[in-house]
Amino acid sequence: MDVVDKIQSVTTDGRDMPVEPVGITLLTVE
């Protein structure tokens, strides 16, 4: 649950940053 919260935070606070790869990696781990 914490991981999902972190992803949302990063996506909202760092839209310009490479969030896509991070989200995909985390989703794969989940």
User: Quick one: pLDDT at residue 12?
Assistant: 58
Q: How far is residue 14's CA from residue 4's CA, in Å, rounded to a whole number?
A: 15
What pTM was estimated for this model as a whole? 0.21
- Residues 22, 28 contacting (CB under 8 angstroms): no
User: Quick one: pLDDT at residue 8?
Assistant: 64
User: What does the domain layout of the chain look like in residue ranges?
Assistant: 1-30
- Residues 7, 15 contacting (CB under 8 angstroms): no
* pLDDT tens, residue by residue, 1-30: 577 776 666 655 555 555 566 666 666 665
